[in-house]
A = this chain, B = another copy of it.
């Protein structure tokens, strides 16, 4: 009998496997947009194209859904990224620019970027979740950036007196950008989100102007 056991799932089955993902995506969008409390379970279901009851087939409660959304969006974005930087061979200023750009591609431009806005808004309501988020997202991100800066210093490319806080100089624009993208432009005077590439390019210049050892009149 040449028929494989799991050839093609029946249509019903296929939906079933897709459901949790569809619900998580819908929930992420709505939670990011409106916050946890202001999002109705039925809205999430509707956006995922199912009825209210179906949501509770896959998640025990709205709160469990929320936790699942956060944990799903946190999921190992850093492993591959970390490795990539291990193997990076160019100058550290190239590395930092590359870091900002690839961060944008891998995180900033994806739905996962809403996660930061979500956590900023809900950290006080879900402290354990905020803890997870710091451990699994913020801390690895910090370590990654710190390693880049340390490399720059070690190779004599950067001069950074206050390394601890220098990391925040790199992090701040990324977080600002995500807030901006997900807050109906609440941070820009015209209500339009920024152009991310343009913003990041400018930030990279500013950061490097601060970090780089200047030879005679140097940089940008």
Contact = CB atoms under 8 A, between A and B. Distances in A.
A189 interface: yes
Nearest to A216: B217
A33 B139 CA distance: 23
A132 B172 CA distance: 25
Interface magnitude class on chain A: 35 or more
A178 to B, nearest CB: 10
Given A35-B121, A120-B186, A134-B190, 4 more contacts: A121-B121, A123-B186, A139-B189, A175-B176
Interface of A: 33-38, 116-117, 119-125, 127, 130-131, 133-135, 138-139, 142, 159, 162, 165-166, 168-169, 171-173, 175-177, 179, 182-191, 194, 198-199, 202-203, 205-207, 209-210, 214-220
**Interface of chain A, helix or strand or loop or mixed?**
helix
A134 B35 contact: no
A218 to B, nearest CB: 7
Contacts of A34: 124-125
A147 to B, nearest CB: 14
